[in-house]
Amino acid sequence: MKYDFNDNPQINKTLNLVVETISSLAEEQLEHIKQLTKIGESLSSETDLNKIFDMILDEGVAFTKADGATIYKVNDEGTALEFEVIYNGTMGMRQGGAHGAVDWSPLPLYDAEGNPELSHIVTSVYHRKQGLCFDDVYKSEGYDISGTVSFDRSSDYRCEAMLTIPLKDHEDNVLGVIQFINPLDENKEVTVFTDEHRAMLSSLASQAAIALSNRKLIANLENLLMEFMRAIATAIEQKSKYSSNHITRVAQLTNMIAAKISDAKEGPYSEVNFSRNELNEISMAGWMHDVGKIITPEFVMDKSTKLERIMDGVDMIKERIAHLKTLFKYLQLSLSETDYRSFVKEHLDIDIADLSSYLDDALLFVQKLNLGGEYVAQEALDKVEALAAINFEYEGNQYRILDELDRKNLSIRRGTLNNEELEIMRDHVSLTWAMLSQLSFPKKYQHVAFYAASHHEALNGSGYPKGLRAAELPLPSRIIAVADIFQALTSADRPYKTNKTLSEALQIMAKMVKDGLLDPELMDFFLESGLYLEFAEKHMKEDQIDEVDIPLLKNLYYLD
């Protein structure tokens, strides 16, 4: 658009040219501002460190038309600058970021005496926290550029213009350094970095530093969260006098299964590809699956026998049987044989000839049943009732073998906990949900509470605490359930059971699959992948690891 500023054509032309130039510069600056805003928005929304580095480099190269660029990050120890991304257009070189790791050695920030390394351009920029710009780096003074010269000679390249800028966070800490070389003009000829380039790249560096700082802060918070979870798990394990490390090992096995599934290239899980966030979420749930046990009483967690109270109740039964033997010896001496036989028959319903063996057998029976197990037959329960029926008074003293609590506890069909104690133990799952569901997990970890609190649910709906069915139980919940059961069965130091061999533990799990408690596909994968053996070799005693017949195990749940 032309404007009429003056009647003099020459003046009018000059003024129009000035307006046109100013407008062009304004539009160009506006475009730069838009571009910088776009870069800032992209960096602020990105959390993947590799993508952040790629974005910084790509945007900087696009703006300056630089032929090469390098991004350095300060290592965790603060002792060196690590190469994160290397790019050179002429040489067709791109390493780092999403293009694989850079195999170049880090640059030390300090010399052998611990003094700041200031002789190299990039390390000097780090320590002095100020950018450096050279129209021809070969003409720079006071800096050792032997590395640049050596690289150029070996690569038949010539580094001329160089701009190096520190990436500083809001507290003026240098998180890294970004370096661009050889900006190109429209004819692909090397030119120099302009003030506009420097201003734009400095602004980009500031935004990049904020993105890196945010990512570092997020990473530190996530590490703190995971460390906190592990600390709680350790505290819960310390409650028990049995050093089973159950939570730790369940978490480890959960991680192993999830990672193996994610890597599967064939089979039912070939399409499952857990992201890093999803793997972290599953891992957190594994660590937190028993957090509710923080309030479970120790006497329930550590109950190693059915009769255990403050002491093992079997010792009291032993005393009662000893008193019975003493009584019957006394009666044998003080009564006639007929009266003695009648007394024994009335109160024990046996013949006097069987008395000694009966009482000895009763003690052995109680001692064996007291240890707990996977299943108690009805015949054994009937014998408990018979022993509990022995209860009589003689000359003011009460004689019996079992009291009511003994009868109740010895009638436990599986394990060592009675119904009331089982409810107390099972409450840990509800508390796990109550505790974790109140925490404001990041959105990417929003399922931690559910996964952790559903590891005792069953596919057929018979589990607890909510009785969820298969359609309501996602794969991570099923993974933790398998890890939890396998670790519990194979642990060599659980208080309420004798050690099981590897094959015995897997047979029990196979029966649980058949009964609709565990996922058959997941059990197949657990067996076929060899994860069961990999875990067993790390954590089971050598004499527990025996031969496992996988086809036979599968037949237990696939064949009627």
Domain boundaries 46-217, corresponding CATH code: 3.30.450.40
Average pLDDT rounded to a whole number, residues 215-233: 82
Mean pLDDT of the chain: 87
What are the start-end ranges of the H helices in 264-377? 276-288, 298-301, 314-334, 337-348, 355-370
Percent of the chain whose predicted confidence (pLDDT) is above 90? 57
240-302+420-558 has the same fold as 46-217? no
Average pLDDT rounded to a whole number, residues 46-57: 74
Kindly report, residue by residue over 314-343, the tens digit of the pLDDT. 889 999 999 999 999 999 999 999 999 999
Contact residues for 486 (Cβ-Cβ < 8 A; gap 6+)? 253, 505, 509, 526, 532, 535
Give CA angle at 266 (261, 269), nearest 5°. Answer: 40
Kindly report, residue by residue over 95-132, the tens digit of the pLDDT. 988 788 888 999 999 999 999 999 999 999 999 999 99
Q: Is 95 helix (H, G, I), strand (E, B) or coil?
A: strand
Average pLDDT rounded to a whole number, residues 287-297: 88
DSSP string, 406-419: HHHHHT-SSSS--H
For helices 520-528 and 475-490, the axis angle rounded to 10 degrees is 60
| pLDDT for 449 | 95
Kindly report, residue by residue over 446-459, the tens digit of the pLDDT. 999 999 999 999 99
Bigger pLDDT: 529 vs 217? 529
As a whole number of Å, the CA-based R_g of the chain is 38
Average pLDDT rounded to a whole number, residues 127-141: 94
pLDDT of residue 208 exceeding 50: yes
- Kindly list the domain boundaries of the chain, sorted by start residue: 46-217, 240-302+420-558, 314-415
Q: Is 248 helix (H, G, I), strand (E, B) or coil?
A: helix
Report the greatest alpha carbon distance in the chain. 152
51-55, 119-123, 320-324, 378-382: which range is least confident on average?
51-55
CA–CA dist 284, 223 (Å, integer): 11
For residue 267, the Cα-to-chain-centroid distance in whole angstroms is 25
Best CA proximity match to 125, nearest among 147, 109, 106, 145: 109
Residue 243 binned pLDDT confidence (cut-offs 50, 70, 90): very low
Contact residues for 543 (Cβ-Cβ < 8 A; gap 6+)? none
Q: Token pair 């046990």 is at which residue?
A: 293
Average pLDDT rounded to a whole number, residues 286-315: 82
CA–CA dist 387, 381 (Å, integer): 10
DSSP string, 153-207: HHHT-----EEEEEEE-TTS-EEEEEEEEEEB-TTS-B----HHHHHHHHHHHHH
Average pLDDT rounded to a whole number, residues 55-62: 85
Q: Token pair 């024990």 is at which residue?
A: 348
Q: Is 387 helix (H, G, I), strand (E, B) or coil?
A: helix
| pLDDT for 496 | 47
Give CA angle at 473 (414, 487), nearest 5°. Answer: 45
Best CA proximity match to 494, nearest among 254, 241, 291: 241
Average pLDDT rounded to a whole number, residues 454-466: 95
Q: Which residues of 70-85 are buried (b: 16+ CB within 10 A; e: fewer)?
A: bbbbbeeeeebbbbbb
Domain range 240-302+420-558, CATH class: mainly alpha
Contact 276, 335 (CB under 8 A): no
Q: Token pair 């590395």 is at which residue?
A: 147
CB atoms within 10 A of CB 450: 18
CA–CA dist 56, 211 (Å, integer): 10
Average pLDDT rounded to a whole number, residues 249-266: 95
